[in-house]
A and B are shown apart, each in its own frame.
Chain A
Amino acid sequence: MSRADVAVAILWLGATFYALFGGADFGGGLWDLLAGYDDEKGGRPRAVIRRSLTPVWEANHVWLIFVLVVLWTAFGGAFSAIFTTLYVPIALAALGIVLRGAGFAFGKSIEGLRERRLAGATFAFSSVITPFFMGTVVGAIAAGNVPADGNGEPFSSWIQPLPLLIGAMFVASGGYIAAVFLIGDARRAGEAEMERYFQVRALAAAIVAGVFAGVGLIALHSEARYVFDRLTDQGLPLVILSALCGIGVLVAVRRRAPSWLVRPLAAGAVVGVIWGWGVAQFPYLLPTSLRIDQGAAPGPTLNVLFGVFAVAVIVVLPSLGLLYTLSQRDLLEHD
């Protein structure tokens, strides 16, 4: 494995963390949106969602920054090619991030029911459009619509069945991860009704995401032959792993299995897809126009990235752990 390959692996790890944590965060917004306008009915699930999201909202999204910075530092050419081609969906995703952050930042401190509703609706709505457009970007890359020297088609590169399907799949899988996490949170809080509420949604989202994945495979066959061929060959074990985890979750959720079992299974289903995609693209960064070894940054730069990644894992993960524990801890004084 060359240094450039390791850099890609780190890029993929960052993307995996983002898909899991950021995805869960977007998914929370999706369920918030679907909880309905009615405060009577929507209030309780919303409370569960907000309680789970609040402390870690920010940290979840730093993974995206991490991915972008690694991409431009290690693979400046690919970064430029992607941004000069897919600037429309990327800008729309950025718009979603701004709206979402604003909804989050102001939602809690704002006064007045109408304003709160507006902030909440902005947050929920942008939780859907952001992952959707991010998915179209990934889909367009996989479909080979990004030429190595950039400035590809700004619209037809992503307004195609495969990118659109992957966008939809991103939304559904975020909803799926979020629902699985929320089951556990509701259970810990002793809210049996909410636990069932999110069980139903986890199952529904799993099925929807599975259907999108299936249809996506067909689209992959016609639009991204290189990726399809490798996915069903070298990538097959990962695809199977993902499918098994997905089915495992369906069973485990229905049987009310404990969180330590359900959560890793749900994560496994997503991780399988992401790494399957990675294996299927190999050795291309942009199939089939730019290989990983073409235009990677010089060794010392990549070493810095490795160092940064190591520090991130050593320092950031325990701090995150501390925050999670603290957010689930009881108050010192009871007031």
Chain B
Amino acid sequence: MPPLDALPLAASASNLLAAREQMAFTLGFHIVLSCIGVALPATVLVANWIGLKKGDEAAIELAKRWSKAMAVTFAVGAVTGTVLTFEFGLLWPHFEERFGAAFGVAFAIEGIFFFLEAIFIAIYIYGWKRLSPWAHWWSGVPMVITGIGGAFAVVTANSWMNQPQGFTLDAAGKVTEVEPLKVIFNPATHYEVPHMILAAYMVVGFLVASIYAVGMLKGRRDRLHRLGLLIPLTIGLIATPIQLFVGDTAARAVADHQPAKFAGMECIQETGGHQTEYVGGICTSDGVKAAIPIPDLDSFLVGFSPDTKVTGLKSIPEDERPPANTLLHLAFDTMVGIGSALLLLGVWLAWSWWRKRDIPQTPWFLRIVAVTGAGAVLALWCGWIVTEVGRQPWIVQGYMRTEEAVTEASGIWFAFALVLLLYAGLGTAAILVLRSMSKRWREGYSGADVESPYSPSTTAGEAGK
């Protein structure tokens, strides 16, 4: 059937761009849901624990509601994650062909965590009415551990792409030896993995708190809303200072091991000491425009001395420089800016709590909390832009270029368009369903009455309707 195979679906020369856009889009979508899968279980368990310890009905009700919402996001997360797995073959087949033997090690381990997380989320949701209260609480603990374990395994795969090691290549570039432990514990693991897990706790903490802040601004100030604000907000605010510390470590490690990425995100052109730190601005080949300059600070941050030498882009071969420097730079600044702003918010809340045992009594506090969720998600996306775009043109730093990994298949732009459409539908439906659940709760249904995926039917025969 030759005519069919010759269908000119799209020119494959543009595959690289299409594949990169699609990968970035689908990952950006999945990462928000997977943050919820990593960190919401712990948030639920805190509420559940408070409820059991203090006999607090409102806390139990929150745990029930959040676990139902989690079932929805988890199911969508599983779908989008499966798409990512397929994309490794559909978009980047030659990456797996050459490095699957090394890179796959981390993913194989991830599989176990996925299995267990999927099983224990269902157990926890089933357990509300089938297990005794404390047995039920304990049945939730594996969700927390597997969430963190799963994040570890995927992110360590990504950190291996940034700082690959633990394999030997033969003359033809084929992997001949693999040292699994060195692959898993590569030099980027110790900062990327904690940074991501903390990011997940921040995203969930601030996102959930935002929802209750909006409710309180609308005048719903019962105990349920206060707890619904305070539990996640506290979790997010505790994670924040640690996150800034880890981020700082990450930045120094990147300056050491991935100088091109660092130069790109800081817009450094000439190699040398006494580098100026630029806040904001536009990157051009003759320096940063429209930025706020802070002399020597960049050198100081990298090596604690204004004399520290930092590599500039001009010392890096042209075809190994990262693209889109302005985007990289602004993404980095946005991440750091949001992190710092959230730290200040924490200081404000801590001060108010210390003085008055209460949240600050101005509507501005709630208004700010109401946007922190979006802020944390934005910081998360910005961080991934820094990591992934900053690594370009490499898919495996120093070993394989992204253009060597991409598929020769046709129709990638078409597939990307379809993916955009599909995900727009998926995202809209997820938000509508979550909102309709919340509406029913406000109308007086209890968390236990609203159905969700994995949950047993509340009334016999209901499921058939």
Do A151 and B108 have beta carbons less than 8 Å apart? no
Q: In the complex, A106→B435 CA distance in Å?
A: 12
A294 to chain B, nearest CB (A): 11
Q: In the complex, A41→B256 CA distance in Å?
A: 68
Q: Does B294 contact A (CB under 8 A)?
A: no
| Chain A interface mostly | helix
Instruction: Pick the residue among B7, B105, B130 that contacts A331 (CB under 8 A).
Output: B130
Q: In the complex, A56→B436 CA distance in Å?
A: 25
Do A110 and B465 have beta carbons less than 8 Å apart? no
Do B456 and A76 have beta carbons less than 8 Å apart? no
Q: What residues of chain B lie closer than 8 Å to A111, measured between beta carbons?
A: 436, 440
* Residue tally, chain A, CB below 8 Å to B: 84
Write the B429-465 contact mask toward A (1 if CB under 8 angstroms, else 0).
1100100110010000000001111111100011111
Given known contacts A72-B88, A316-B112, A116 and B123 CB-to-CB distance under 8 angstroms? no
Do A79 and B122 have beta carbons less than 8 Å apart? no
Q: Does A105 contact B (CB under 8 A)?
A: yes
Do A323 and B85 have beta carbons less than 8 Å apart? no
Q: What residues of chain A lie closer than 8 Å to B433, measured between beta carbons?
A: 105-106, 109-110
Q: Does A5 contact B (CB under 8 A)?
A: no
Do B100 and A300 have beta carbons less than 8 Å apart? no
A213 to chain B, nearest CB (A): 25
Q: Does A77 contact B (CB under 8 A)?
A: yes
Do A155 and B112 have beta carbons less than 8 Å apart? no
Q: Does B131 contact A (CB under 8 A)?
A: yes
Q: What residues of chain B lie closer than 8 Å to A87, measured between beta carbons?
A: 89-90, 407, 409
Instruction: Pick the residue among A46, A73, A82, A105 that contacts B89 (CB under 8 A).
Output: A82
Do A47 and B100 have beta carbons less than 8 Å apart? no
Of the A-B pairs whose beta carbons lie under 8 Å apart in the complex, a sample of 29, sorted by A's number, is: A43-B465, A47-B464, A54-B456, A57-B453, A61-B78, A68-B88, A69-B107, A69-B108, A69-B111, A73-B104, A73-B107, A79-B89, A83-B90, A90-B86, A91-B415, A98-B422, A102-B425, A104-B75, A105-B453, A107-B453, A109-B450, A111-B436, A150-B97, A153-B5, A154-B5, A156-B2, A297-B178, A323-B119, A326-B123
Q: What residues of chain A lie closer than 8 Å to B118, measured between beta carbons?
A: 58-59, 62
Q: Does B231 contact A (CB under 8 A)?
A: no
B contact set with A: CB distance below 8 Å: 1-2, 4-5, 7, 68, 72, 74-76, 78-83, 85-86, 88-90, 93-94, 96-105, 107-112, 114-116, 118-123, 126-127, 129-132, 142, 175-180, 407-410, 415, 418, 422, 425-426, 429-430, 433, 436-437, 440, 450-457, 461-465
With CB as the reference atom, state the residue of chain B lying closest to A295.
Answer: B174
Q: In the complex, A94→B74 CA distance in Å?
A: 18
Binds B, one of A200-208, A228-236, A273-281, A303-311: A303-311
Given known contacts A159-B1, A300-B179, A331-B129, A58 and B78 CB-to-CB distance under 8 angstroms? yes
Q: In the complex, A329→B176 CA distance in Å?
A: 51
A236 to chain B, nearest CB (A): 33
B396 to chain A, nearest CB (A): 13
Given known contacts A69-B85, A301-B102, A108 and B131 CB-to-CB distance under 8 angstroms? no
Write the A63-89 contact mask toward B (1 if CB under 8 angstroms, else 0).
011101110111111011011100100
Do B176 and A298 have beta carbons less than 8 Å apart? yes
Q: In the complex, A44→B292 CA distance in Å?
A: 68
Given known contacts A105-B76, A300-B179, A54 and B129 CB-to-CB distance under 8 angstroms? no
Do A90 and B130 have beta carbons less than 8 Å apart? no
Given known contacts A65-B85, A109-B436, A72 and B104 CB-to-CB distance under 8 angstroms? yes
Q: What residues of chain A lie closer than 8 Å to B85, measured between beta carbons?
A: 65, 68-69
Do B464 and A50 have beta carbons less than 8 Å apart? yes
Known: A108-B453, A315-B116; 6 extra A-B contacts, CB below 8 A, are A46-B464, A65-B114, A84-B408, A90-B90, A101-B75, A304-B109
Q: Does A55 contact B (CB under 8 A)?
A: yes
Q: What residues of chain B lie closer than 8 Å to A105, measured between beta carbons?
A: 72, 75-76, 79, 430, 433, 453
* Residue from B72, B86, B102 whose CB has the most chain A CB atoms within 10 Å: B86
Q: Does A319 contact B (CB under 8 A)?
A: yes
* Residue from B98, B108, B176 whose CB has the most chain A CB atoms within 10 Å: B108
* Residue from A43, A59, A109, A156 whose CB has the most chain B CB atoms within 10 Å: A109
Instruction: Pick the residue among B127, B180, B409, B452 that contacts A108 (CB under 8 A).
Output: B452
